[in-house]
Amino acid sequence: MSDRYTVISADCHAGADLLDYKPYLEKRYHDDFDVWAATYVNPHEDLLADAADRNWNSERRLSELEADGIVAEVIFPNTIPPFFPSSSLMTQPQTAEDLERRWAGLRAHNRWLADFCAAAPGRRAGVFQILLGDVEEAAKEIRWAAGAGLKGGLMLPGTPPGSGLPELYSRAYDPIWAACAELGVPVNHHAGSASPPLGDEPAARAVFMVETTWFSHRALWHLVFGGVFRRHPGLKLVLTEQGSGWIPGVLDMLDYYHGRLVSAATEADTAEAKFGAGLAEGMGEAPSRVWRDHCYVGASFMRPHEVPLRDRIGIDKIMWGSDYPHDEGTYPYTREGLRFAYSGVPHAEVAAMLGGNAARVYGFDLDVLDPVAARVGPTVAEIAEPLKEPPADATSPVFARGASVRVW
């Protein structure tokens, strides 16, 4: 047994500096890019600050992650791709021209990301982007990305109310699921990608905080009740940065409705029969069984009150994440965050949640990473030591009062 943990963050973010996307665009879009870039005003303060280069500065990133005890990362998008007004996670194209240009912008990001991952062999699993408005184009991009070595898999956009897109349970998306299942590409659904616009009222921010994870959770029951895993048994779904404590209760609730609808479908004279008609065969196994066979959670900065639920969630399902380089992430206090959450948890379980599960899901080679961890990883003894108080200048919500049952 090693005396150090091999820590893989299953939730980090990166992207190119704005102008650095241009070489990755097809030349026919270069003039349009110049016009767009000349007038674009970035709405995100963290992408204008001195620390913004953490998103694209490969050497700085490796150095800071190693200093924080992390040896590898799954990389979700962060910076703004060409032709998007703000985050690519939440903005729906409004016209056919929007769709074409934004596809070009996402392809540029994906190709930049492939090069960024190649700059640190074995240490980065890039999550590539698609749009849902052209399913066949999405399937082509999935095949390209798998061939380009983007092992982090697919970033599944949301279908928020008002988007005009088919719901995720629709069979219209079967070419996407089929390509991912065939190629072993994980499907990732990150928090913040499925919420509808809420306007600019002061209460909107609070309502967004309350609802955003719920809107992200919806992907689970859409795909389960839509029978996606039954039709595509090789599919893997990862729900990231949505917490993890909700999972046992939601699985119980989904199992209840699954059983109720299947039962109702066999009783034609009941008032509920119409809700279960045609579902029993399509849905397949109970949701808790689907979770066990197909699903994982990117449990960014797991909190102490979630850790006792690990057996009900599935220890082999939990993948810790630091959310680097976001302010709410654990950097530069990852070791303290891990002590806060995992002190007192058996070594083998901690090792699985901190890196072993992510290595299995995303295809990291531990023979490559373990020697790095032997140099920079947190020690078993260190993580076993309870944290007496949070760092005074820590910004991660993992340490926030009210974010955990543990009281300082």
pLDDT single digits (tens) 50-106:
789 999 999 999 999 999 999 999 999 999 999 998 765 555 666 888 889 999 999
State phi, psi for 48 to the nearest 5 degrees.
-110, -10
pLDDT at 406 over 60: no
Average pLDDT, stretch 141-157?
Answer: 97
Burial status of residue 154 (CB atoms within 10 A of its CB: 0-12, 13-18, 19 or more): buried
Say what the pLDDT of residue 278 is: 73
Say what the pLDDT of residue 405 is: 47
Say what the pLDDT of residue 97 is: 87
Tokens of 332: 């530069």
pLDDT at 237 over 90: yes
Q: Which class would CATH give 7-13+43-79+91-100+109-399?
A: alpha beta
pLDDT in tens, 26-65: 999 999 999 999 988 877 777 777 789 999 999 999 999 9
Comparing 260 with 123, which gets the higher pLDDT? 123
CA distance linking residue 264 with residue 256, whole number of Å: 12
Residues 168-172: contacts with CB within 8 Å, 24+ apart? Answer: 168/218, 168/219, 168/222, 168/223, 168/226, 169/222, 169/223, 169/225, 169/226, 169/228, 170/226, 171/226, 172/135
pLDDT in tens, 192-204: 888 888 888 989 9
Q: Distance from first CA to last CA of the chain, Å, rounded?
A: 33
pTM for the whole thing? 0.95
Say what the pLDDT of residue 161 is: 87
Tokens of 274: 């119409």
**Are 84 and 43 within 8 A, CB to CB?**
no
Provide the mean pLDDT of the chain: 92
Burial status of residue 83 (CB atoms within 10 A of its CB: 0-12, 13-18, 19 or more): buried
Angle formed at CA 124 by CA 119 and CA 126, multiple of 5 degrees: 100
Say what the pLDDT of residue 111 is: 98
Q: Helices in 21-133 by DSSP H: which ranges?
A: 30-39, 58-67, 96-118
Average pLDDT, stretch 311-325?
Answer: 98
Say what the pLDDT of residue 41 is: 82
ω into residue 197 within 30 of 0, thus cis? no
Average pLDDT, stretch 280-302?
Answer: 92
Give residue 402's pLDDT band: very low, low, confident or very high (50, 70, 90): low
CA distance linking residue 105 with residue 214, whole number of Å: 28
Burial status of residue 276 (CB atoms within 10 A of its CB: 0-12, 13-18, 19 or more): buried
Contacts of 42 (CB under 8 A, 6+ apart): 18, 48, 80
Listed by start position, the domains of the chain span 7-13+43-79+91-100+109-399
pLDDT at 404 over 80: no
Give the SS3 label for residue 232. coil
Contacts of 383 (CB under 8 A, 6+ apart): 5, 335, 338, 339, 342, 343, 350
Give the SS3 label for residue 177. helix
